[in-house]
Amino acid sequence: MRIATWNVNSIRQRLDHAVRWLGEAAPDVVCLQEIKCQDEAFPREAFEALGYNVAVHGQKGFNGVALLSKLPLEDVTTGLPGDDLDVQSRFIEAVVSVKGAAVRICCLYLPNGNPPDTEKYPYKLGFMARLRALAARRLALEEAFVLAGDFNVIPTAIDAADPAAWVNDALYLPATRAAFRDLVHLGLTDAVRATSDAERLFSFWDYQAGAWQRDLGIRIDHLLLSPQAADRLIAAGIDKHVRSWEKPSDHVPVWADLAIAA
């Protein structure tokens, strides 16, 4: 079973890219972020024509997440628990089952948090605390689950081409990285780092300052696996070439293969 995550930065602008990449990579489950549309405007027919079931938690103009799955999506829920006042569409989860094996897929778009001296940064840290609480509850069930999405976190210096350029950014502040470590240290596995310690593994290149042309990227899109999912991890990777397509998203797909026959 291939599970992938991709911040498409507007699904309507990137629909052709999404269809092209799905044809190439043939993932079984896809977590999409920043779809930037309401539920009724999501182009579900294009994905259903490719054999995918679709679940959407949209928002007009920005944010928004969606799940695509070749397997039925069961027990779909939206919104990260813990803050009834949070109306931003940043979280959707569902269960996919095949041949007796079930995996819960949690798709998230974690807040950017910039500028750090505004209310946006406490919101980011609060979201991360709520995510940690959810992960702890899921881990207690001892079931396979995956947290996948745009975390807007650069975990370590190796995950940035130029770490010094990010020292004052909400993606790399000490409190951000500490919150991410606290999440992982619950017992989760970073799929990409579990399969490679290579440098220059990036998932995002800014549109500005020739970041793509100079390979000044960062790794902020992650798949974190529970022990029951990590035990089945076969491979993981980043489809960097997608960033070279015409009018691309600034993010590229990240994926993990689990030993579950889909």
For the segment 184-207, the average pLDDT, to the nearest whole number, is 96
Catalytic residue, chosen from 17, 121, 150, 222, is 150
All structural domains of the chain: 2-258 (3.60.10.10)
Binding site members = 7, 34, 150, 152, 250-251
- pLDDT confidence of residue 252: 99
Q: Is 150 a catalytic residue?
A: yes
- pLDDT confidence of residue 199: 87
CA 100 to chain CA mean position, Å:
26
The bridge status of strand 29-33 relative to strand 2-7 is parallel
The bridge status of strand 145-150 relative to strand 101-109 is parallel
- Residue 83 has which token pair? 């803050």
Binding site members for Mg(2+) = 7, 34, 150, 152, 250-251
- Residue 196 has which token pair? 């490679």
Q: Which helix (H) or strand (E) holds 77?
A: strand 74-78
Alpha helices in 141-190 (DSSP H): 174-184
Q: Is 251 a catalytic residue?
A: yes
d(CA 65, CA 78): 9
Catalytic residue, chosen from 17, 28, 52, 109, is 109
Burial 86-107 (b: 16+ CB within 10 A, else e): bebbbbbbbbbeeeebbbbbbb
- pLDDT confidence of residue 42: 98
Q: Is 57 a catalytic residue?
A: no
Q: For 80-105, write each residue's pLDDT tens digit.
A: 999 999 999 999 999 999 887 899 99
Percent of the chain predicted with pLDDT > 90:
95
- pLDDT confidence of residue 151: 99
The amino acid occupying position 155 is P
d(CA 187, CA 136): 9
The mean of the pLDDT values for the chain is: 97
pLDDT greater than 70 at residue 262: no
For the segment 99-128, the average pLDDT, to the nearest whole number, is 97
